[in-house]
Amino acid sequence: MTEVVSENSEVTVLLVDDNPQNLKVLYETLKDKGYRLLIANEGQKALDLAHRHQPEVILLDIMMPDMDGYEVCKRLKAEPSTTDCAVVFLSALDDLQAKVKGFSLGGADYISKPFQSLEVIARVKTHARVIRLERELQARNRELQGDQARILNSISEGIYGLDENGVIEFANPAAAQIMGCPVDELIGRNFFETHFATCQEGQNGLPGHTTCSQGVAENRRNIRMLRMDGSGFPAQYRSTPKLDQGELHGAVVVFDDITAELQSEAALEEARALVQEQRDQLAHASRLTTMGEMAAGFAHEVNQPLTAITNYARVSKRMMAKEEPDLGLLGETLDKIEAQSHRASEIIRRIRRFMKKPATGKEVISVPTLLEDTRQFAEVDMRNNDGGIELSVPDNLPEVTADPIQVQQVALNLIRNALEATRSADVSIPVQVSAELLGSSCVRVQVRDHGIGLSDDAEDKLFLPFYTTKDEGMGIGLATCRSLIQAQGGDIGFERPEGGGACFYFTLPVAGSSGAPCAPEQSSGIEEG
């Protein structure tokens, strides 16, 4: 047996014939055609060479002693490493039976003896090309499959391929890791029975079931799945139907253990709750401070009706002491007493409501009512010679969703600041409080004064905690205001109005509007202006 290597041989051709003369002819025909040529003169040698070199094309004589061409072909096809090579039978036999048998054993073609050299060259060339392409294709396929496998293996989420009954056909290593079981033990198990405690009660409604049975994609979070040892874990999963030309072949389920995620979410939620609680507490403390500052005003405010009540009571007593008391007049006076005690209790009610510890939470509120209430509140704090507070609100203003006490706190804070600025400037132009609809989902409340105004420097730092322009201020007011308004989904800001003074505004979402309709970018106006 000889091995002859042609130059630039990429394609290997094995020539098998027991007749040396025939081998010589074939060799002569094919040499210098760019093939690597191998030669064998009996079946067993041909198999060994084929196994070692995996030739693309084998020219195989049928009639050979010991092992004939048919047997060689059969064995070549049975061996994975040689199954793809093109076997071209050579025989003097020119009958149909022989050809059919050759093809049925996996032969690719047939060349009759005596050989026509052009025919041999053409057929070898054709089959060599076909096999070459096939092998490249297979190599590419293997590459792709390798990539896919690597992707599936490296993905941290578990992936199952299920058939339409929920039997696991495929599992990636992550699935095995999550479930605590090797991949090959997972395969063949029923997904529903293995991973869900409630499976005995029926598979309907179990995750992925409608995908397997009806081809409906699912996506759920915080589902309880069981590991192989029976322990449970919270999972998130997506299942998508496996479809082949419109036909349902089960589902692909991608799942993940979200224990850690849920824990960090819970921690985040807890932190958020804490922030909210602290904001509420700060807001409450700030309300108490405000009330403290306004105490003298409230005392005066409550003393007015009390004084009137005392006076009316005395008058009534005197009327009754008369010989013929004027009962009509007495009744009128008693009515007045009643009205005044209502007035006093109303003031106290307002104070108590404002001081209430936890804010009441968001509700649908009427801005005009809230502002009027706040105006009366703020007037308590007005000093002599103050110009007062002017309120202008359109009748058709929609209601907003917000915490009424916290919004009142903000409005009161802004109005009191405005009164103070007005007072400091020694002017008596009223503080103007107005409200308007901004777009369709946002109400803007504005407090404008003609007071001393703000320096450019102050403007930037206004809403920062502990920044204050007041001698006795803590710098908490506006920072708290901003935090409160942002908690309502609104925005708060300052504008430098023409004609001096200051203008503060805040926005609140209209009741029923969705999203964050009053987010800062809507009303910043810096880019536009």
Partner 1 sequence: MTDIQQTVYVVEDDEAVRDSLELLLKSDGKPVQTFENATSFLKEYSDKMAGCIVLDIRMPGMDGMELQKKLNDKHSILPIIFVTGHGDVPMAVDAMKEGAVDFIQKPYREEALLEKIEAALAQDLEQRKTLDEKQEIIRRVKSLTPREHEIMDRMIAGQANKVIAIELEISQRTVEIHRSRVMHKMGTHSLAHLVRMVLSVKDLIDAR
Kindly list the residues in this chain that would bind partner 1 in the complex (CB under 8 A): 295-296, 299-300, 303-312, 314-315, 318-319, 333, 336, 339-340, 343, 382, 384-386, 388
Distance of CA 475 to the CA centre of its chain: 38
Residue 84: closest CA among 49, 127, 44? 127
Q: Would you say 312 or 377 has its CB closer to partner 1?
A: 312
The widest CA-to-CA distance across the chain, in whole angstroms, is 162
Least gap, CB of 299 to partner 1 (angstroms): 4
C-alpha to C-alpha distance for 131 and 342, rounded to whole angstroms: 104
The SS3 call for residue 156 is coil
Q: How far apart are the first and last CA of the chain?
A: 93
Least gap, CB of 284 to partner 1 (angstroms): 24
Q: Would you say 305 or 404 has its CB closer to partner 1?
A: 305
Q: Would you say 432 or 523 has its CB closer to partner 1?
A: 432
Burial code of 199-229, b = ≥16 C-beta within 10 A, e = fewer? beeebeebbbbbbbbebeebeeeebebbeee
Q: Would you say 42 or 379 has its CB closer to partner 1?
A: 379
Q: Would you say 312 or 505 has its CB closer to partner 1?
A: 312
Least gap, CB of 435 to partner 1 (angstroms): 24
Least gap, CB of 383 to partner 1 (angstroms): 8
Q: Would you say 183 or 429 has its CB closer to partner 1?
A: 429
Least gap, CB of 505 to partner 1 (angstroms): 27
Q: Would you say 385 or 455 has its CB closer to partner 1?
A: 385
Least gap, CB of 326 to partner 1 (angstroms): 11
Q: Would you say 116 or 310 has its CB closer to partner 1?
A: 310
Least gap, CB of 277 to partner 1 (angstroms): 34
Q: Would you say 336 or 461 has its CB closer to partner 1?
A: 336
Q: Would you say 31 or 342 has its CB closer to partner 1?
A: 342
The 3-state secondary structure of 240-300 reads EEEEECCEEEEEEEEEEECHHHHHHHHHHHHHHHHHHHHHHHHHHHHHHHHHHHCHHHHHH
Q: Would you say 30 or 382 has its CB closer to partner 1?
A: 382
Q: State which H helix or E strand residue 7 sits in.
A: none
Give the CA distances from residue 164 to residues 169, 190, 247, in Å, rounded to whole numbers and listed in that order. 10, 11, 11
Q: Would you say 33 or 343 has its CB closer to partner 1?
A: 343
Least gap, CB of 432 to partner 1 (angstroms): 17
| Residue 18, φ and ψ in degrees, nearest 5 | -80, -15
C-alpha to C-alpha distance for 97 and 89, rounded to whole angstroms: 13
Least gap, CB of 339 to partner 1 (angstroms): 8
C-alpha to C-alpha distance for 385 and 115, rounded to whole angstroms: 126
The 3-state secondary structure of 341-407 reads HHHHHHHHHHHHHHHCCCCCCCEEECHHHHHHHHHHHHHCCCCCCCCCEEEECCCCCCCEEECHHHH
Beta carbons within 8 Å of 133's beta carbon, 6+ residues apart: none
Q: Would you say 317 or 356 has its CB closer to partner 1?
A: 317
Least gap, CB of 384 to partner 1 (angstroms): 3
Q: State which H helix or E strand residue 427 sits in.
A: none
Evaluate whether 355 touches 377 at the Cβ level (below 8 Å).
no
CA angle (392 as vertex; 386, 394 as ends), nearest 5 = 170
C-alpha to C-alpha distance for 127 and 135, rounded to whole angstroms: 12
C-alpha to C-alpha distance for 265 and 277, rounded to whole angstroms: 18
Least gap, CB of 508 to partner 1 (angstroms): 30
Least gap, CB of 419 to partner 1 (angstroms): 12
Evaluate whether 38 touches 49 at the Cβ level (below 8 Å).
yes
The SS3 call for residue 173 is helix
The SS3 call for residue 513 is coil
Least gap, CB of 369 to partner 1 (angstroms): 23
